[in-house]
A and B are shown apart, each in its own frame.
Chain A
Amino acid sequence: MRYAAVVDVMPKEGIADPQGQTIEKALPALGYGGVAEIRVGKRIELQLEAAGPDEARERVLEMCERLLANPVIEVYEVTIR
């Protein structure tokens, strides 16, 4: 079976996110006040062959640990469709 997976990678909670901080400073300049806690991550989409959704998830989680995310500074969430 072919599965579609979506991986959302985000900076770990409590770790300063320079991209989020910079955007947070830029928004008020455009007139958007009251915006806080901006965090910037990335979304990775992929398709893979697997026997079932559990195996698909298992494999994508392994990819996250080894390559797609850096567990020192990032957390990830996998969605299988």
Chain B
Amino acid sequence: MSARVGVILFPGSNCELDCRRSFDALGAEVEMIWHGDVALPDVDLVVLPGGFAHGDYLRTGALARFSPIMDAVAAHAAGGGLVLGICNGFQILCEAGLLPGALKKNVGLKFLCKWTELRVDNADTPFTNRAHAGRRLRIPINHFEGNWYVDDETLRSMKENGQIVLRYTSNPNGSLDDAAGISNATFNVFGLMPHPERACDLLLGSEDGALILGSTLDHVASDARAAV
């Protein structure tokens, strides 16, 4: 059975169709979920896509974390379900407290829209198992607030646990410890600023993003085998 992926649509999301198309192409069953719903359908992975949810007013993700669906997303995560936040989705997960830290404005106050090179520093997660440690990925960024920050103590324990999963090889935005993608302590919630869903086809310049998205599907499949 193929993995079931739910993509949440907030008012102001603009990457939800890219997510659907890329997961479709990888063989997942994809369903769109309205942010105003209070329950999730039966899905293995919840994706919070990029965009400008609720206009990014006040702070990025600050209002989206109170969308009715977010209680169900938190419950899904608490039960061990997979949650992936891309760009604005990453910002929402931080505001919701499902991931540590916060995203500040980029150093230099520039909106950055360009290709970046990432390094996989932990390949033993549901989001990176198709790669190997040290693997370089070419994936684009497209953000103004990607400058991840967390307090020293939390950063230390995150580094020890391998929660800084992806790092920029050339830090574009001031992000602490060159972090591009980070995970919670139980590795079922993952957020990254780069857009893997935009790098799943050589026609678009790279298919390295499929390693990230595809990893989640492999993880779901191996879970299903273990349950039999």
Quick check: is A30 within 8 A (CB to CB) of the other chain? Answer: no
**Which of B58, B63, B95, B101 has the largest number of chain A CB atoms within 10 A?**
B58
Decide if A22 touches B95 in the complex (CB within 8 Å).
no
Residue contact A21 to B107, C-beta cutoff 8 Å = yes
Take A67-B62, A68-B58, A70-B95 as given contacts and tell me if A22 and B108 are in contact as well, using a CB distance cutoff of 8 Å.
yes
Any B CB within 8 A of the CB of A15: yes
**B side interface size, CB within 8 A:** 20
A72 touching B149 by the CB < 8 A rule? yes
Q: What residues of B have a CB within 8 angstroms of the CB of A15 in the complex?
A: 104, 149
A11 to chain B, nearest CB (A): 8
Q: Is the interface of B mostly helix, strand, loop or mixed?
A: loop
Q: Is the CB of B102 within 8 A of A73?
A: yes
- Chain A binding surface SS class: helix
Q: Which of A8-38 contact B (CB under 8 A)?
A: 15-16, 18-19, 21-22
Q: Mark B97-141, 1 if CB is under 8 A from A, else 0.
A: 000011011111100000000000000000000000000000000
**121-176 of chain B: CB within 8 A of chain A:** 147, 149-151, 174
Interface residues of B (CB under 8 A from A): 58-59, 62-63, 66, 94-95, 101-102, 104-109, 147, 149-151, 174
Other A-B pairs, 5, CB within 8 Å; known A18-B104, A18-B147, A19-B109 = A16-B174, A67-B62, A70-B59, A70-B62, A73-B102
